[in-house]
Amino acid sequence: MKTLTKVLVCLLVAASLVSTFIACSNDDKKDNTTTSSSSVKDPADMNTSSSSSSSTAPDTDKPSTTGTALFNGAENDAQDSHKGEYVYWRDQADWEGAAVTVETAEISEDGVITIAFTHTGTPNGFGFQLFYNPADAANGDVYEVSFKIKASVNAKITVNGETQELTANEEKTITYTVTLDMHPEANDYQYGTSVIDIQFGVGHAAETTEDIVDGTYTISGVTATKTN
């Protein structure tokens, strides 16, 4: 009888231990499930969060720099070895005292020219210039020229000898006729005429009446039609 009682007691103790173990095991599973669900984010939430924190609005104050760079030279280059290309020239302080920094000088695939510059030092009406002659241009050729130009600032420029006034952010169409008389071999910088000859100011050095104006300029819709 005593032996049977001992056996029953042992069975009860064992059953109690098993019940306790199962209860503890279930509690651990609950804890693990809670931890796992709180640390995993919805993929859509992760993308939204990442996108909103890393995206940057485009800087509209700076011009695009995705086109082909224009050649930095002088008017005689545009009349000779770089015919068929747009060529720009800038004062570098040691020339006429205006230190011009070019931020952009390029042409896009669809023919839009973008120029942006700043400068310091002595006012210089020809501190930045742009030139162009067709690849087959020759002296005596007569061209009818037309293009549209827009500036981010109010400015006066000189186009083939004629002063043109630009109003900030307003596009202006310029047309004229030019007879070519190119002299790329000149050693006195008197190179004659080019199909496109733009000074981004008015006057020369000490005779400057309108200094070049820092800003962004776009030129588009250029046509140069030979008429003779």
Say if residue 103 is in the same domain as residue 213.
Answer: yes
DSSP string, 75-138: HHHHHTTTTTSEEEEE-BSTTTSEEEEEEEEEE-TTS-EEEEEEEEES--TTSEEEEE--TT--
Please check whether residue 108 lies inside any domain of the structure: yes
Say if residue 74 is in the same domain as residue 27.
Answer: no
First to last CA, the chain: 135
Say if residue 194 is in the same domain as residue 92.
Answer: yes
Please check whether residue 60 lies inside any domain of the structure: no
Q: Give the pLDDT confidence score for residue 96 in this predicted structure.
A: 72
Phi, psi of 86 (to 5 degrees): -85, 135
Does residue 37 register a pLDDT over 70?
no
Please check whether residue 102 lies inside any domain of the structure: yes
Say if residue 182 is in the same domain as residue 86.
Answer: yes
Say if residue 219 is in the same domain as residue 112.
Answer: yes
Does residue 60 register a pLDDT over 70?
no
Q: How far is CA 9 from CA 6, 16, 18, 21, 41, in A?
A: 5, 11, 14, 19, 51
Please check whether residue 59 lies inside any domain of the structure: no
Domain range for 42 is 2-54
The CATH number of whichever domain residue 200 belongs to comes to 2.60.120.260
Bigger pLDDT: 49 or 116?
116
Does residue 144 register a pLDDT over 90?
yes
Say if residue 198 is in the same domain as residue 106.
Answer: yes
Q: Give the pLDDT confidence score for residue 187 in this predicted structure.
A: 67
Does residue 131 register a pLDDT over 90?
yes
Q: What does pTM read for this prediction?
A: 0.70
Q: How many CB atoms lie within 10 A of CB 168?
A: 12
Say if residue 154 is in the same domain as residue 195.
Answer: yes
Q: Per mean pLDDT, which of 17-26, 34-43, 63-72, 115-124 is the most reliable?
A: 115-124
Q: What is the pLDDT of residues 175-206, one digit of tens each?
A: 999 999 998 887 667 788 999 999 999 987 56
Q: Give the pLDDT confidence score for residue 38 in this predicted structure.
A: 32
Question: Domains in the chain: how many in total?
Answer: 2
Q: Give the pLDDT confidence score for residue 62 in this predicted structure.
A: 42
Say if residue 76 is in the same domain as residue 179.
Answer: yes
